[in-house]
Structure 1
Amino acid sequence: MNPHAAHSTSLLTLVSSLWQHRHLIKVMVIREVVGRYKGSIFGLAWSLLNPLMMLTIYTFVFSVVFKARWGIKTTDNTSDFALILFVGLIIHSLFAEVLNRAPSLILSNANYVKKIVFPLEMLSVVNIGASLFHALISMFVLLVALILLNGMPTLTIIYTPITLLPLLPITLGISWFLASLGVYLRDIGQMIGIVTTVLLFLAPVFYPIEALPESYQMFLHLNPLTFPIEQTRTVIIYSEPPNWIGQAVYTIFSIVTCRFGFWWFQKTRKGFSDVI
């Protein structure tokens, strides 16, 4: 295969590539997840222990020490603040982990570029698959804590996959864009960590949108994390159905972003072997 040849950017190519390499993706995701804890005493158990310890710390600090309250749509139970905060942190961690690793994906797998025929676009899929695994473990911890603290959740919790799934295409699209850009512009790897930190504080993670003046709220809505965070809290914590119109609009925007990211990656990948 000529590494300098043009690659198809069609949506059909993307879908067929995902299906054709589904077994490869599965194997590499498992290897990525297991490899992260290789050599540690507790091994894969850390994927459960980490979110469990973090939620315990959040609950103690915000419920006992600060006695913090969200102030909107919640009960007088101060532990609600820790649960609401944890929802936002889970979603941000998924997004930030994928983006922080994206600029170095191609650079750290140079052998796949030069020596063997490999579907490079699958590296971003594997990256998001491994991060999604840890996010799902954290969601399980959140669900258990919700049951222990507030009792059985309502049936609106079944909408959780609907509120979370649209985040994946937009994250994947941005990952493809950054993975390609990171090959040509090495400084992007240093910058993206700052960007994801800024996005953490410009999203309703530590505070509700309503806490800001209306003139500033629009800036939070420009953050791609704001809508999924708000909607996931709505169905899990507030026991309300999602905003279906907003969900549809966000999904369309997410798919368009994914489509652009794949197009950019396919257009620029023919120069990878020359730069690395």
Structure 2
Amino acid sequence: MPLPSPVNAVALLWIHRRFVWSLTLTGVSSRYRTSWFGLFWPVIHPVLLIGVFTFVFAYVMPLRWVSEESGGVGFPLFLYSGFLVFTFFADVVSRAPTLVLENTNLVKKVVFPLEVLAMVSACTSLLFFAVNLGVFSVFLALLGPGLPWFTPVLLGLFIPFALFLIGVAWFLSALTVYVRDVTHVIGIFVTAMMFFSPVFYPLSSAPEPVRAALSLSPLTIVIEGIRAVAFDHVLPDGGDMLILWIGSLAVFYLGYLWFQRVKEGFSDVL
């Protein structure tokens, strides 16, 4: 059986773009449908988090390694810049194992493209990430150094990171159909990644051997890239962006390849 072309994996996003967009909007609205504040929650949530970070890490429990320049309001924003990327990652990865399991009624429908489930999950989380990034940008403009003119270059980080997460979601959603233990392990993995990534600390504070390993993580590259643009007003490292693009496209294609190879057995297991 010939391997699916990498072009097919990318073309899948374009072919089903309207279907994915429709399901994404449905997913966004359904999350807050029964709440009082509804779609205001994606804005309220990051504002509250920034307030909590400010109170705890600037006044209650200031960290010793934080320099004077990063103190006060600046450090909570520094912390939140890592947290918003991790939240995007955690939301997609945590939901991935149950994407197929929760839609067993669609498995036996030949006309339904099961591949879009991972794309919808990633796109839904991407919209919430965009809202969080917007709130972060407003606080950065009001309380921080502002945004440089080359801020749109961050798309060069967000696009491959989203493709990376779609590939991971394809792999995990297909694997969990056959190995249900993944649903129990994934929570531990996501929590571990929060500490193995520079969410609560700058990458420069990690020991040299550990720093070299952490710097290869897509999470680290995106977090450090956002911080470079937002706080230092410099472009993300070109080498890191190249690693991110190559690694993300590889994971995207391998996840697609895995999903295509094993999805034919879904109906037998489910």
TM-score range relative to shorter protein = over 0.9
What residue in structure 2 maps to residue 137 of structure 1?
131
Note closer, same or farther for the CA distance 1:25–1:237 as it changes in structure 2 (3 Å cut). same
Residue 201 (structure 1) shift: 0.1
Residue 114 (structure 2) pairs with residue 123 (structure 1): no
What residue in structure 2 maps to residue 168 of structure 1?
162
What residue in structure 2 maps to residue 19 of structure 1?
14
Residue 210 (structure 1) shift: 2.1
Q: TM-score, normalised by structure 1?
A: 0.92
How far apart, CA to CA, are the structure 2 residues paired with 1:124 and 1:211?
35
Aligned residues: 270
What residue in structure 1 maps to residue 143 of structure 2?
149
Note closer, same or farther for the CA distance 1:15–1:223 as it changes in structure 2 (3 Å cut). closer
Q: Which has the higher contact order (CA 8 A, sep 6+)?
A: 1
What residue in structure 2 maps to residue 62 of structure 1?
57
SS at match of 1:29: helix
What residue in structure 2 maps to residue 105 of structure 1?
99
Residue 111 (structure 1) shift: 0.9
What residue in structure 2 maps to residue 232 of structure 1?
226
What residue in structure 2 maps to residue 114 of structure 1?
108
How far apart, CA to CA, are the structure 2 residues paired with 1:13 and 1:7?
13
- 1:8 and 1:266 in contact (8 A); partners too: no
Percent of aligned pairs sharing the same letter: 36
Residue 8 (structure 1) shift: 6.8
Note closer, same or farther for the CA distance 1:264–1:52 as it changes in structure 2 (3 Å cut). same
- 2:146 and 2:230 in contact (8 A); partners too: no
- 1:163 and 1:247 in contact (8 A); partners too: yes
- 1:173 and 1:259 in contact (8 A); partners too: yes
The CA deviation string for residues 187-216 of structure 1, in whole angstroms up to 9 with x for no partner, is 101101110110110111111222222122
Match of 2:34 among 36, 39, 47: 39
What residue in structure 2 maps to residue 188 of structure 1?
182
How far apart, CA to CA, are the structure 2 residues paired with 1:119 and 1:218?
40
SS at match of 1:225: helix
Amino acid at match of 1:22: R
- 2:157 and 2:244 in contact (8 A); partners too: no
Amino acid at match of 1:26: W
Identify unmatched segments of 5+ residues in structure 1: 1-5
Residue 29 (structure 1) shift: 0.1
RMSD: 1.9
How far apart, CA to CA, are the structure 1 residues paired with 2:13 and 2:145?
40
Residue 261 (structure 1) shift: 0.5
- 1:173 and 1:261 in contact (8 A); partners too: yes
Identify unmatched segments of 5+ residues in structure 2: none
How far apart, CA to CA, are the structure 2 residues paired with 1:52 and 1:111?
38
Q: TM-score, normalised by structure 2?
A: 0.94
